[in-house]
């Protein structure tokens, strides 16, 4: 078992880590599992979840909103990026299901941006193949290409 002082000292370290930049539960475990005993780390994580410092569902929303304003990504790429942060596939699938219309529009806008950038150096068939490899949906690619032509 551990003392309250130990708990507070380690909690402060974890808190500094997550206040610097929003983190997922898995990122915290990866960072501190070698320096903080497992039972203490689990209790700290639970405390921080209860206090809403860690919230993987909120993390999904903020991260996707960030990507939407900065990058051109397919829904599949968004999913992989979130999975790499250790977020539960169930949470991701639930978010995508609840926001599918908005995400479809974002994916189409991304396709349009990529086509615009690449059309000077590649023909449309090569761009389509490129987009398919990046995980964009075939129907979204065709809808955007038809809209352009």
What pLDDT shows up at residue 17? 97
Say if residue 42 is in the same domain as residue 70. no
Other Cβ atoms closer than 10 A to 128: 19
Confidence of residue 144 (pLDDT cuts 50, 70, 90): very high
Q: What is the pLDDT of residue 114?
A: 96
Mean pLDDT of the chain: 95
What stretch of H or E contains 137? none
* Whether residue 69 is found in the same domain as residue 140: yes
Whether residue 10 is predicted with pLDDT greater than 80 in this model: the reply is yes
Total number of domains constituting the chain: 2
Rounded Cα distance, 21 and 13, in Å:
13
Tens digit of pLDDT for each residue in 83-127?
A: 999 999 999 999 999 999 999 999 999 999 999 999 999 999 999
Q: Which domain holds residue 49?
A: 4-54
In residues, how long is the chain?
A: 149
The pTM of this model reads 0.86
CB 69 within 8 A of CB 75: no
pLDDT in tens, 54-66: 999 999 999 999 9
Residues 92 and 38 occupy one common structural domain: no
Q: Answer yes or no: do 122 and 137 share one domain.
A: yes
């Amino acid at each position: 078992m551990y003392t309250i002082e130990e708990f507070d000292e380690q909690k402060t370290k974890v808190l500094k880590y997550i206040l610097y930049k929003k983190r997922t539960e898995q990122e915290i475990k990866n960072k501190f599992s070698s320096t903080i005993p497992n039972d203490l780390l689990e209790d700290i994580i639970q405390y921080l979840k209860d206090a809403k410092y860690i919230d993987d569902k909120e993390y999904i929303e903020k991260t996707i909103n960030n990507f939407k304003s900065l990058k051109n990504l397919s829904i599949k790429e968004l999913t992989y990026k979130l999975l790499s942060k250790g977020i539960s596939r169930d949470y991701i699938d639930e978010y995508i299901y609840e926001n599918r219309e908005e995400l479809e529009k974002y994916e189409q806008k991304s396709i349009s941006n990529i086509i615009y950038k690449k059309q000077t150096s590649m023909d449309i068939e090569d761009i389509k193949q490129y987009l398919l490899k990046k995980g964009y949906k075939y129907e979204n690619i065709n809808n955007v290409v038809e809209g352009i032509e």
